[in-house]
Structure 1
């Protein structure tokens, strides 16, 4: 609440500038009981104790009787708890709120929420019934001796102009549903006790809780029990021991619908270990392992032996299921699906959340690989069931590849090493020398010595389990000489003969470095690639005829032997 003095200060601020009411923002209320939609259910025969009060609340509350006049103020749901009750006999309501710390300031307001969203209390002034927002601490509530039906904000003491924390009892209407907001203006977090101590109205349901009906849920593994009134979620034994089902049903657990966010429910789900067969069944109330049967908000118990019958039909036992067969392909894969649903008359297939089919046994062509997801909804006029299966298409197309040298020296045997990928079953080699092989690891191959370099086309064809093939080819060059040497002279005149200076026949050289120096010791050419040749120029300028020094270092790729050579070459023009 906002006291009268705080309200006067608020008005003075408003008249000169824009200001906020609270210097410190309060957290939003989220706990059960702290919002209108999750209010505690109460009745008139029980005391309700709140040990502590969490600090929260940001919403304003319409208080029509305090909206104008000298004591007008803006109320908020500060540190609230909400209580819900129904009137079963028209009359007056008397209650008292006793703070655990007697000096604490508690305020309250009652709303009639019959047929409306409980959250409308924040916006709809017409839901207002009565209130007391007095700033005086101590007991508060309604009393026949109270002087006023409502009390607005006031100072915290009578000496300062405080008003009574008690209001006259409101008149409740039979059949209407109400909310009581208890707001803790003091931030001590100390709790309180709420007692309904009299009046002529009755907020206690005279009817005992009982079953309205029971029914089987599709699939046969759950039973729904509908109550004639709400029962406390805390009175439902989680192990399902409140119930027995005959004949021959094994109960696994039970829970109340909506109990995650509420204190009471009128719908209970009983879960079974195994699906029921088509038959007529009876669910019966037992004493649960928690020491009670189902209890309503006034602690009235469902009588032991309370029963309800229900029927399980074959239509309720619809079950979705299917098999599939994969036909692997080289470009596309085809999957044939086979319906195995039970008690279904309709079916809807969904493939990868994209393609659908209502065929009984569809076939789907997949052009991409990876995980595939298939959903089947099998249904009849009563129930439906869904199943999802995943599988992986991993027949990635074969790739042919092998390693072999780029060059072969005279009298040298060649090793070909397969590194193809895929689910391979066949290999076929053609070595270009008239020899072939169907082995994954083929024998060494020899090539004839000739006076000129000769290119040979090497081919590998691989085949996988689906009959898909892949091909890889490579040119193997058989050279006439592998002796590495540097010419003693060259003539860069563009006639196509001895135009360049470079290491000859360095096919088997690795880590090669070739450097050319002029007569002054300056580097005028450098390469690590023996096929890059010096053309007798530097920066496009032809160098003069004369003797040039070169150095050559390399490692023999076959033997690992290292060489470091030095010599001279004459440039002739």
Structure 2
């Protein structure tokens, strides 16, 4: 049972970011599922290990000690993952000391696992795990610990990175996904041709124009504006760039510069929608802001971007990379994976889910369905709809990877989450009965703390007060809008009855004393049937609801026999003597 609605954007209710989330998932089987995949960062002290204990899994070799750890898990949507934990630092209001990260590959709920521990970067109370060899569709467990119990900031991103860019125009990485915000690693050198920036603003009339360069290319899939921001990973780095227009994707000889940035400013640089200048020359100027004007591009045009790190590094020192993200309505030519899904929320397993492949610019497709699916991952060369069902509860992730056979290095991936959640366990109880004349409190409860209620009275609280004798039903919904019902019945008030006392004689002689055959407490037993017969078997009195009203006036004195049957079936019989 459920209310139908699409849950794709419902992540804010069930997901990853809950303020001051006290994580009790200190064993892998209770790992918290990650549902935000691209450039997610929590609040500064949003997560913690305050109630965690040391898990039963052995200490990884890349950790110097084992603290109270917490666990996350994710299904990889790309080959690149970057996980960062920020504890107690000057810029972060958190308390975790000496944070540590390790990940484990396990596709069988951690029954077997492979530890991945060689990509950990430690900087004081910051820990970062970066890996370019994650397998799409596989499940990974993230283990986080520290030397104390404290709060921390959690950052996570997972995507299909573009091919690694080269240092020359001819070896540039071709971009096909304008939505990525990606971070190339450290780069060094200017390639085979260190003067490709000649006659641009970075040309300072020296023999070697370029020192440390990296190149990207793309072809426009539509008409639109393009801006981008390049943010150095080292905030003190001076990044420059030149944007060229190319006659074709492979014609670097006839490239033409249209934007150029060589200002001596450090920090972020790029194209934005506020600047009016087309280039900024080397040096400092009051008119420099490290950004130049955006570009209006036309469908089918091809461009190349050269990024230069102008900062001087010592011999052997690793040159920092940068993050780059694009803005505007322009799209790049290349495969775009996507699919429609018939529904994303189910309150019980084994429902068929229809997937319609809507990918573009691709002819090779790899599907991944995850644990509990009736289908294994498989390669397809068609966009025909497919149906999948899941046999168990949980958050499921369906991933589609798409590429073109002519350029298999340009890969794009798309994923959707499916929620198969159990019905809530609902109870309803009353606190009393109606016998004392007061209202009765009915209380409903739901095993999900995020819930709401609807009673048959129309009220929407978990507690209501009633005064009528009848059946009441409450329907309760959990956070996923799965619902269940419970019923409580208010029975008529039953006052305890006194025992009856039947006399063996009465004297109907008009003295106003003992004039009737009075059965004590008979008024508490309505519909009691009384039959009186004489000694010859003749019925002298009969009542189906005796009310102490037989006075024997029409009968002579003597001995009689009575038969009394109560409404509940209990019977009495005996002798009654009438004295006159």
TM-score, normalization by structure 1: 0.28
Q: Which has the larger radius of gyration?
A: 1
**Structure with bigger RCO (C-alpha 8 Å, 6+ apart):** 2
Q: Return the TM-score normalized by structure 2.
A: 0.28
